[in-house]
Amino acid sequence: MRTLASIHVYPVKSLGGMSPDSWPLGRRGLEFDRRWMLVDEDGRFISQRECSSLALLQAEVSPSGLKIHDRRGRMPDLIIPMARAQSGVPIDVTIWQDSVVGLQVGMEVDRWFHEALDCLCFLVYMPESTLRAVDPTYAQPEDVTGFSDGFPFLIAQQASLEDLNRRLPYPVEMRRFRPNLVISEGKAWEEDTWARVQIGAYSFRTPKPCARCQIVTIDPDTGEQGKEPLRTLAGFRQQGHKILFGVNACVDLETQENEPAIIRVGDTFSILSGETAV
């Protein structure tokens, strides 16, 4: 039986995340996933593409607030109460081609990140009032996301990673690819053919494969950048100018009002539609 093997939440875009056994989900994705983001002085998002050392900061979130831990041990933990994040100063921020309103958390928080990363940056939070639409080419009108690259969920298969690792000079972990949901067993790369899948009680639309960038070449333990696994992936997973791993997804929620939607490690997985539907 195929199951949900792991759940991954990244509260701050491009920082390390957390892997709970169960977690609430909504239209934007897993709760608090990529609800915070660092921006430059022009309000444009900062990711590991510009600052690979973001990988060395670990973000954890609870109902009480956000904690940032410097895994290098250079900085004390940063604790941000949730109420403070939600009452910040509104500013316009840009992520790829989208311009949205974020809440600037505060100067002392920005100073912590400046010292930790040695670059001028500002932490912003996406409030409930900000609704960032998913590309309508691949989504329904009600689909929204947080500060992700474009979709509320990224789903990957363990079988595909295992096939990739057999081709690599050294194996890499799934966290290189920063998925939200990892599926056990199955056939490598069959996710290319999915259209709709079921995880536990919830149906997910999987409209397109995920194109990967140089972030997958950054070692999450050291922040150092190499050439793999992108070079090997390009040899057999390139379509046009895009190198593919995993699938982007949106969820269809039909829970009753005030009833939380919860996903859990071990939830059953099935393919509802697509070339390999069962």
> Domains, the chain, ranges and CATH?
4-9+136-274 (2.40.33), 32-129 (no CATH)
- Whether 199 and 263 have beta carbons less than 8 Å apart is answered as yes
pTM comes to 0.95
Least confident of 20-24, 268-272, 274-278: 274-278
**Mean local confidence (pLDDT), 93-98:** 96
The tens digit of pLDDT for each residue in 30-86 reads 999 999 999 999 999 999 999 999 999 999 998 889 999 999 999 999 999 999 888
pLDDT value at residue 258: 64
Mean pLDDT of the chain: 94
User: Which stretches does DSSP call E strand in 158-201?
Assistant: 181-183, 194-199
- Whether 66 and 17 have beta carbons less than 8 Å apart is answered as no
Between strands 181-183 and 153-157, the pairing is parallel
pLDDT value at residue 148: 97
If you write DSSP's letter for every residue of 42-86 in order, what string do you get?
TSBB--TTT-GGGGGEEEEEETTEEEEEETTSSSPPEEEEHHHHT
d(CA 219, CA 201): 35
Share of the chain above pLDDT 70, in %: 97
Say which residues have a Cβ less than 8 Å from residue 236's Cβ, sequence separation at least 6. Answer: 167
pLDDT value at residue 155: 98
- Whether 186 and 159 have beta carbons less than 8 Å apart is answered as yes
- Whether 21 and 264 have beta carbons less than 8 Å apart is answered as yes
pLDDT band for position 255 (cuts 50, 70, 90):
low
What letter would DSSP give residue 130?
A: -
Does pLDDT of 244 surpass 70? yes
3-state secondary structure of 203: strand
Instruction: Give the torsion sign (CA, 29, 35, 265, 214).
Output: positive
pLDDT value at residue 62: 87
User: Which stretches does DSSP call E strand in 144-239?
Assistant: 144-145, 153-157, 181-183, 194-199, 202-211, 238-239
pLDDT value at residue 257: 55
Does pLDDT of 171 surpass 50? yes
The tens digit of pLDDT for each residue in 99-127 reads 999 999 999 999 999 999 998 999 999 99
pLDDT value at residue 64: 81
